[in-house]
Every structure is written in structure tokens, then in C-alpha cells.
A = this chain, B = another copy of it.
Amino acid sequence: MPTLPPARLDRVLETALYVADMPASRYFYVEVLGGEVMLDTHRLVAVAIGGTSVLLLFQRGSTEAPLPTPGGVVPGHGGYGMLHIAFAIAAGEVPAWEARLGAAGVAIESVVEWPAGGRSIYLRDPDGHSLELATPGLWPSYQPAPHVNG
């Protein structure tokens, strides 16, 4: 391959899930997980997660065809199965999340302590997508912030 000009991806901006029951998914991601709705249509609910991530909830079966818009054509896509997403949470918020999920009636499917550090709590969304709430430590790029005072 020829030498490529330098260019950089800053981050993953949008992550997509395909859902069967949009009101149920909207409720789950907003009321239970605390996301903020930025766009709400029959086809797509876009949810802000923290300040830097966008979760796209697409009505399953509505996205396969290219979508013409005034500014250009959005290519088709679409997914099936039970996908996986992990969300970053602070280590100190694990008890709050356990309590929040318990109060909402959401079962914790599994807990994993990672060899490199960090803990993950696994749960399912209304479509059975596998969600993970992960504290810092498990990836070289996801480490606890250094303590300012030792």
C-alpha cells in the first residue's frame, strides 16, 4: 500500500443499536440509563451519552434502504442479533448503579473483575443487547486518572 497521508479519528462518535420496540428502548436508555434525547422520530431516537458519545436507536428494519436527505444520501445499514456495547462509569459509582438498576427492576446478568484492573457489570436492554458498565482499568487506553495527591 502507498504511504498514506496522516489523518486522525478523534473517537467513536455514534454507536448504533437496532430495536424492536422504540418506546421501550427509549424509556430504558433515557429513564433507566440516564441518556438525553437529541432527536426522536419513528425511525431513529438519538441519545446523548455523557458529553462525547451518541447512541443511535434505530427501528429495526427501517434502515436498510439508502435515505435521501437535502444534504446528501445516507447509506443503508442494518443489524440483527444481540449486539454489545460498553459504557464507561466511575469506579465510585458502582454501588449507585447497582442500586439504580435494582430499583428499575433490571437484572445484573454477570460481574467480571478484569486481570488488568477494573470491574464490569453486565445487563440486557429490552432487545437483549449485551450492555456493560465498565470502571477504569481494563484497557491500556482506559485507566484510572492519576491521583493528584499521591
Please give the residue numbers on chain A whose beta carbons come within 8 Å of chain B beta carbons, in ascending order. 1-16, 18, 31-36, 38, 46, 48-56, 58, 63, 66, 69-90, 93, 96-97, 99-100, 103-104, 109-115, 120, 122, 124, 129-130, 132-134, 139-142
Contact = CB atoms under 8 A, between A and B. Distances in A.
Contact of A86 (B13, B63, B70): B13
A110 B72 contact: yes
A18 B130 CA distance: 14
B12 A55 contact: yes
How many subunits of this chain does the assembly comprise?
A: 2
Contacts of A120: 72
Contacts of A114: 71
Contacts of A122: 74-75
A54 B10 contact: no
12 contacts: A1-B104, A5-B96, A5-B99, A7-B93, A8-B50, A8-B90, A10-B50, A52-B141, A69-B112, A71-B115, A72-B110, A74-B110
Given A11-B87, A51-B141, A74-B122, 8 more contacts: A8-B34, A9-B49, A36-B141, A46-B139, A48-B141, A56-B84, A72-B113, A76-B82
